[in-house]
Structure 1
Amino acid sequence: MKKNFDELPSSRQEQLMAFDRLLTIMDELREQCPWDRKQTMDTLRHLTIEETYELSDAILEKDLPEIKKELGDILLHIVFYAKIGSEADEQDPLRFDIKDVLNGICEKLIARHPHIYGDAVAKDEETVKQNWEKLKLKEGNKSVLSGVPASLPALVKAMRIQEKARGAGFDWDEKHQVWDKVEEELTEFKEHFNIEATAMVNQEEAEGEFGDLLFSLVNYSRFVNINPETALERTNKKFIRRFQFMEEASKADGKTLHDMTLAEMDDYWNQAKAQGV
C-alpha cells in the first residue's frame, strides 16, 4: 500500500530523508569528482568485495560501531552501481536506476513469500527454504544449484551447495549418518596417504580424497548448526592472536622465534592460552 510522506511515522521520514541525502551526494560526486566520474562497475567490483569482507570481520568481532560504518560503505556501493546503471542511454532496455533496484527486490520478496503475501502455508523455516527453491525453478532457474555463485570461496560454496540440495530434498535424515560419512572419508584418506614421506603420492588423487573429507565435514557442520566459514575464521583470528603473543612475549624475554625450539615456542603458546588470548 502506497503512503503519503506526511502520513509516515517521523522515524521513517527521517530514514527516507537520509537516503535521499545519500542519493543527492552521489549525484554531486558523479558530476563533480574526477575519481567518482571515472569509476565503472568493473572498477568498483573488487572494492565491493573488500568492503563485504570488512563487514564480515566487524560482524565476527561483534563491533556494532564498525558494522554501522561498513554497512554505510556497502550501501554507498549499491547506490553507486545504480547511478552508473541510470546513465545508460534512455532507449537502452537494460537501463536501470535505484528505483528499479528497490522495486525489483520488493517484488521478489513478495513473490518468494507466498505464505505472507498469498495463500501458501509454511509453518517452519525448512518449509520456507524448500518453497523458495521451488519458486526459483518456476522463475526460470534450470537447476537448484544454478543460484550458487561460481566465484564463491570454496568453503562457503560447499555449504551453499549442500543447503540448496537439502531444499530439493536431497540430504541425509540423521546427523549420525553424516558423521559416518566423515569417518569413512577420513579412513580412506589415512589408508591411502598416511604413508612414509619417501613414498610416491598421487597428488591429484590425494587432493580429491582430501576434498571429499572437507566436503563431508562441512556437511556435518550443517547438522550441528555450525557455520564452517565462521568457525574457521574465528580459529584463524585466534591463531593470529596467539602467534602475535608469542612474538611479543619472546621479544620481551630477549628471544626470537627463529632461534627457539618448538618446545620453547610451545611454552609461549600455552601462556597465551592460559591468559585467554
Structure 2
Amino acid sequence: MNFSRLTPGGGTAAVDRPLAEEVPIAIEYNGAGYAVLMATPADIGDLVQGFTLAERLVTHDDALLEVDVHRTEAGVIARATLPPHRTDALLDRVRHCASDSSCGLCGIENLEQAMRPLPRVTTRTRADRAAIFRALAALGDHQPLNAATGAAHAAAWVGADGAIRLVREDVGRHNAFDKLIGAMARAGTDWDGGFALLSSRCSYELVEKAALADCPLLVTISAPTRLAAERAEAAGLPLVALARSDALLLRGNAVAL
C-alpha cells in the first residue's frame, strides 16, 4: 500500500509498504456460532485448536479437532466439531458468552466464570538464563511477518537449550499464543523442558493460556499486569518479564535460572 514518508527536516518520499492482514474469523462448534476473532488468516487450524483449549471446551486428552475453513468475502468461517462428551462444556460456555456479549462481564456468575481457578503447572523448565538470552537474540529471525510489516506479535516454543523450535505470528498477541499452543497440540509435542517466549506484554489472559497448556516458564518482552502476576503465582507458573538483551525480571520459582 502506498504511503508518504515524512521526515523532521521537511522531506517527503513515496513508499510502498506491505500491511499485515487482519480479518474476522468466525468460529463455530457443532454447527453453532461461538466467537469471532480478529486475526491474521494463517494457521487457522492451529488457532482454533489453541483457542478451544484456552476456552476449556476440550482438554489435551481429547481428540484433536477437525477444522473446516471456509473463506468468504467478509472473512473466514472455521467450523469444528467437539467430541460428544464435551457437549455439556460447550453448552455451559455458550450460556456465559451469550450473557457476556450484551454488557461485558455482568453479574457475580460471570465474574466467577472470568476468574475460574487455574490448574497448577506440573512441568519444569530445564532452561537457564543463557538459554533465554539466546532465544531473545534469535527471535527476530523467526518473525517474517513482523519483519515485513512491523505489525505482528510472535509466540515461540523454545527448547531448554535456547533454540527456537516453533513460532506462530499474528496481529494479536492472544491469537499468536493460541496458534502456537494449537500447533504443538496438533503435532503431539510438549514443552520438553523448554519455555514459551512472547513478543508482548504479559496480560492475565496469556498467563491463563500458559497455565492451561502446562507451560513450565513464560517469558515476555514487556511487563506483566498485577493480575497476571497474581494468577501466575496461584498456578505455580514462573514468569520472566521485561526480557531484554541485558537483563531479565524473574518472578516465581524457576530453579534452573
Task: Tell me the TM-score range normalised by the shorter chain.
Answer: under 0.3
Which protein has the larger Cα radius of gyration, Structure 1 or Structure 2? 1
Q: Quick check: which one's helix share is greater? A: 1
More strand by share: 2
